[in-house]
């Protein structure tokens, strides 16, 4: 999708910095050109100009455009996007999203041209999963990671999917009434158990703390220390989670 971009001045705008940026590009006022294409129309910026404003026609994203917009945005300009979201992109850290966003607007921050390019591309044709930390929808790809521009979280989606798959493959161990057991749980014994070599049984109602789940051996899938009996293995079918 083609989008238009607007660069607007703020209290942080660095006019000399903007002039230095424009000097690095082909600037035939009022247009900045990329590969002979006019991509950014500026307000009058001759000698004595006290502000700066610039707009683009609707454009497809590309890395050269992202670098131009980032370089100018880093001079204390707000980068507006239409259509959004995000509605505002902050380049270079001169402001925070909370400082500039109006109610109902989404503002994100980027810290290098690659991040801006990734967001521009992601807005156009890619649907990435939301951030697992803050649930932001405006994530973008920096291969092999996904990045959240709102909270800064980075993660590998392939590794996350693999971990979820592994977790789903692990067997679930339940107590005598169907509660799921986990390492560290405390349980009570629901029936009196005879213990080989012991003079007395483990009585029903005995509390066993800090259990550890193990692969089943003859039906015994819990390893725990029972007061008065020491370390031993128990069956989950004869305990109840506290």
By percentage, how much of the chain surpasses pLDDT 70? 89
pTM above 0.75, yes or no: no
Please state, in angstroms and rounded to a whole number, the distance separating the CA atoms of residues 82 and 137.
17
In the predicted structure, residue 210 carries a pLDDT above the cut 90: yes
pLDDT at residue 87 tops 70? yes
Residue ranges of domains in the chain, CATH in brackets: 4-126 (no CATH), 187-241 (2.30.30.40)
Mean pLDDT of the chain: 86
Cα distance between residue 194 and residue 90, in whole Å: 70
**190 touches 240 (CB < 8 A):** yes
Q: What percent of the chain has pLDDT over 90?
A: 45
Phi, psi (degrees; rounded to nearest 5) at 218: 55, 40
Q: Is the confidence at residue 179, as pLDDT, over 60?
A: yes
Closest C-alpha to 11, from 103, 125, 95, 121: 95
What integer pLDDT is reported at residue 43 of this predicted model? 93
SS3 228: coil
pLDDT value at 85 more than 90: no
**How far lies 37's CA from each of 40, 41, 166, in Å?**
9, 11, 51
pLDDT digits (tens, 9 = 90+) for 100-134: 888 888 888 888 898 888 888 765 444 677 888 88
Is the pLDDT confidence value at 150 over 50?
yes
Q: Say if residue 164's pLDDT is above 60.
A: no
Tell me the C-alpha distance between 234 and 122, whole Å.
53
């Amino acid at each position: 999708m083609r989008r238009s971009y607007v660069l607007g001045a703020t209290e942080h705008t660095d006019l000399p910095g903007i002039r230095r940026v424009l000097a690095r590009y082909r600037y035939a006022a009022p247009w900045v050109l990329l590969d002979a294409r006019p991509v950014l129309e500026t307000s009058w910026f001759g000698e004595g100009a006290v502000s700066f404003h610039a707009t683009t026609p609707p454009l497809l994203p590309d890395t050269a455009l992202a670098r131009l917009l980032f370089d100018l945005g880093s001079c204390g300009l707000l980068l507006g996007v239409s259509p959004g979201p995000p509605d505002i992109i902050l380049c270079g850290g001169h402001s925070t999203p909370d400082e500039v966003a109006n109610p109902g607007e989404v503002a994100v921050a980027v810290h290098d041209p690659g991040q801006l390019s990734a967001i521009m591309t992601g807005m156009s044709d890619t649907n990435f999963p939301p951030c697992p930390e803050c649930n932001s929808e405006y994530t973008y790809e920096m291969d092999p990671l996904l990045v959240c521009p709102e909270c800064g979280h980075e993660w590998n989606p392939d590794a996350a999917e693999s971990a979820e798959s592994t977790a789903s493959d692990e067997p679930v161990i339940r107590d005598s009434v169907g509660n799921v057991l986990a390492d560290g749980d405390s349980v009570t014994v629901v029936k009196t158990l005879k213990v080989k070599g012991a003079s007395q049984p483990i009585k029903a109602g005995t509390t066993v703390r800090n259990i550890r789940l193990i692969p089943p051996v003859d039906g015994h899938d819990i390893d725990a220390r029972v007061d008065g009996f020491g370390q031993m293995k128990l069956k989950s079918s004869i305990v109840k989670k506290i």
